[in-house]
Amino acid sequence: MTPIKKNIVANFVGSIWQAIIGLVFIPIYIKFLGIEAYGLIGVFSTLQVIFGLLDVGLGSTLTREMARLSVFPDKEQEMRNLVRTLEFIYWSIAIFVGISVVLLSPFIAHYWIKPGQLSPKTVEQSILIMGFVMVFQMPIGFYSGGLIGLQKQILLNVINICSSTVRCAGVIIVLWLVSPTIQSFLLWQMLISIITAFLLALFLWNSLPNSENKAIFKKELLHGIWKFAAGMGGTSIFVIILTQLDKIILSKLLSLEAFGYYMLASVVGMSLSRLFTPVFYSIYPRFTQLVSIGDYDALTLLYHTSCQFMSVLVMPIAIVVALFSYEIILLWTQNIVTAEKTHIIVSIMICGTAINGLMHLPYALQLAFGWTRLSFFKTLIAVIILVPLIIYMTIYYGATGAAIAWVVLNMGMLFFEIPIMHSRLLRKEMWCWYWQDVCVPVMTCLFVVSIGRIFIIKPMSQSMLLLYLIIISILTLGITAITTPLNRAWILVHLFKIKSV
């Protein structure tokens, strides 16, 4: 098995495990803590993303630079010095973020969030703890980026699997045997974040090539990467505005209980990213290496192969969830009220997330060429045009309007970004991407799943419904894989191999 295939498998196993264990334990969290406290966890997630903009692209920059420098000899000392330099900056940012959240905790608790059963004191204490958690949570992304760039993704996923398992399962024991409070939940998150951050730091430094000299902070190294980092940082700011504005507005407008339902639907809708993110992080370093050595034929083949694989991976699940959202939420939570309040939002949001997933590999191609300007101006224009729409839709149509705005945002990227990108990179490949990589698998999925929706038999027991959904998903996945040329060729090659054995 090639290194890139090993990385994809490792990333899938790690990401899917984290998605499964997270989704399994969410109903248990709600049972112990209540939907209001779960809404507070949603506020924590939003704060993490908002303050994550202070990352200013350093995590992505480290990934690219580790991948780029790893193919050249005699770069050992530069790699170690770069990690030390960015590490110092990153920890400084993380400490600043933690202090900011702690100082803002009274304002957020008393003037922004609208708790019902939770007391303002409980909310304030929880947000204060969140500040300390974020100090150690932020560097996890930095060290992970370094390991990804070094293509140590098997190691990274072993750590992530162990960490997420202890994080999710351990907190249940804490809530059960110690204290069923949101403060206990967050304190456990802080403990696991501390352990994970220092483990990742240890393994990153051990994975770097050896050098005779000690790693040192070198300001000069920033001159070669600042443009890429600035482009990534600027893009991140606009992306966060576009993706988190709905949550900021809703956390103010809605009760903490209603916001909890929205965040629950958001978790399901965004969980699809657990499938396409591993592909992005597996392919992106290889894109970078192929660009560095100028092998554009191999780059073009890998681009279309990975994009078709992404479509086959993402679209069957997205469309099954979109058309069967009520049944899936009911099976998952065993709560009719929860299913009724969340299923429409889930259907809309997962469609937007699926489109976002299709755009990830074209984005990886841009980053491999070090071209961040398109992404920066794309998101800047989107902010100017779509922010008023997001505000209007969220204020007047609530959670459903926010979900619709997410779909509109990603549709705009799909139709405007791709033509601009392919006018400069892989110029003759745009229509192949639109038709073979995207349209064919999407239309196939819609056709197969729609037939399954039409012929579903009601009433149906929960076990039979689960079996029916599994069969529909497998059929859709298989038929979609066969209709995409490069995936079909891969399947036939491996079938012939099996036959010849």
Distance CA 139, CA 102 (A): 18
Cα–Cα distance for residue pair 114/36, rounded to 1 Å: 10
Q: Which residues contact 384 (CB under 8 A, 6 or more apart)?
A: none
| 447 pLDDT higher than 90 | yes
Q: Quick one: CA torsion of 211, 215, 219, 223, rounded to 10 degrees?
A: 30
> Which whole number is the average pLDDT over 13-19?
80
Of 370, 382, 379, the C-alpha closest to 425 is 370
Higher pLDDT, 474 or 28: 474
pLDDT band at 123 (very low <50, low <70, confident <90, very high): confident
Q: What confidence tier does 3 reach under pLDDT thresholds 50, 70, 90?
A: low
Asked if residue 457 belongs to a domain, the reply is no
Please state the domain count of the chain. Answer: 1
Query: Residue 209 carries which DSSP code?
Result: P
In a domain, 111, yes or no: yes
Place of tokens 């990467």: 225
What pLDDT is attached to residue 54? 66
Could you tell me if 352 and 409 are in contact, meaning their C-beta atoms sit under 8 angstroms apart?
Answer: yes
pLDDT tops 60 at residue 417: yes
Q: Is 405 helix (H, G, I), strand (E, B) or coil?
A: helix
Q: What is the pLDDT of residues 381-392, one digit of tens each?
A: 877 877 788 778
Is the bond preceding 388 in cis, omega lying within 30 degrees of 0?
no
Residue 30 pLDDT: 82
Sole residue written with tokens 């149906």:
460
State pLDDT tens for residues 57-116. 777 788 878 877 877 777 788 888 888 988 898 899 889 988 988 898 888 887 777 777
Q: What is the percentage of the chain residues whose pLDDT exceeds 70?
A: 92
Cβ-contact 397, 455 below 8 angstroms:
no
pLDDT band at 499; cut points 50, 70, 90: low
For residue 116, give the DSSP letter: S
pLDDT at 11 over 90: no
What average pLDDT is seen over the chain?
84
Which amino acid is present at 223? H
Residue 326 in contact with residue 339, Cβ under 8 Å?
yes
Mean pLDDT of the 351-369 span: 91
Query: Does 161 map to a domain?
Result: yes
More confident residue, 221 or 466: 466
- At 252-267, the pLDDT tens digits run 777 777 878 888 888 8
Average pLDDT over residues 437-456: 91
Closest alpha carbon to 360 in 404, 307, 411: 307
Angle between helices 35-51 and 120-149 (to 10 degrees): 50
Q: Do 48 and 190 form a contact (C-beta atoms < 8 A)?
A: no
Residue 377 confidence (pLDDT):
83
Place 326 in a pLDDT band, splitting at 50, 70 and 90.
very high
1 falls in which pLDDT band (50, 70, 90)? low
Pair of tokens at residue 413:
């990227």
**Tokens 């639109």 identify what position?**
434
Place of tokens 């819609």: 446
Residue 498 has pLDDT above 60, yes or no: no
Classify burial at 344, counting beta carbons within 10 Å of its beta carbon; exposed 0-12, middle 13-18, buried 19 or more: middle
pLDDT band (50, 70, 90) for residue 490: low
User: What dihedral angle (degrees, nearest 10) is formed by the CA atoms of 130, 405, 250, 264?
Assistant: -60
Torsion of CA 41, 327, 360, 151, to 10 degrees: 70
| Encoded tokens for 82 | 């770069």
The rounded distance, in Å, linking the Cα atoms of 142 and 88 is: 11
- Would you place residue 450 in the very low, low, confident or very high pLDDT band (cuts 50, 70, 90)? very high
The whole domain housing 102 covers: 3-441
- In this prediction, residue 56 carries a pLDDT of 63
Other beta carbons within 10 Å of 301: 13
pLDDT tens-place string over residues 174-185 = 999 888 898 999
pLDDT score for 194: 94
Q: What is the dihedral of CA 248, 249, 253, 259, to 10 degrees?
A: -50
Among the listed ranges 18-22, 173-177, 423-427, which one has the minimum average pLDDT value?
A: 18-22
Look at residue 393 and tell me whether its pLDDT is greater than 90.
Answer: no
Alpha carbons 47 and 101: distance in angstroms, whole number: 8
Q: Is the Cβ–Cβ distance between 101 and 131 less than 8 Å?
A: yes
Q: Does 361 map to a domain?
A: yes
Query: What pLDDT, on the 0 to 100 scale, is given for residue 374?
Result: 85
Burial readout 212-223 (b: 16 or more C-beta within 10 A, e: otherwise) = eeebeeeeebee
Instruction: Give the confidence band of 472 by pLDDT, cuts at 50, 70, 90.
Output: very high
The residue type found at 139 is P
Q: State the virtual CA torsion across 136, 141, 143, 144 in degrees, nearest 10.
A: 140
- 454, part of any domain: no
Q: Which long-range contacts (CB under 8 A, 24 or more apart) does 389-398 make?
A: 390/242, 390/245, 390/246, 390/249, 391/245, 391/249, 394/245, 394/246, 394/249, 394/250, 394/253, 395/249, 395/253, 398/250, 398/253, 398/254
500 has a pLDDT exceeding 60: no
Say how far apart CA 440 and CA 419 lie, in whole Å.
Answer: 18
Whether 462 is covered by a domain: the verdict is no
Q: Identify the pLDDT of residue 335.
A: 83
Residue 497 is assigned to a structural domain of this protein? no
With respect to residue 408, please indicate whether it lies within any of the assigned structural domains: yes
Choice between 241 and 446, residue whose per-residue pLDDT is larger: 446
At 275, list the tokens: 């499938």
Residue 463: exposed, middle, or buried by beta-carbon count in 10 A (0-12, 13-18, 19+)?
Answer: exposed
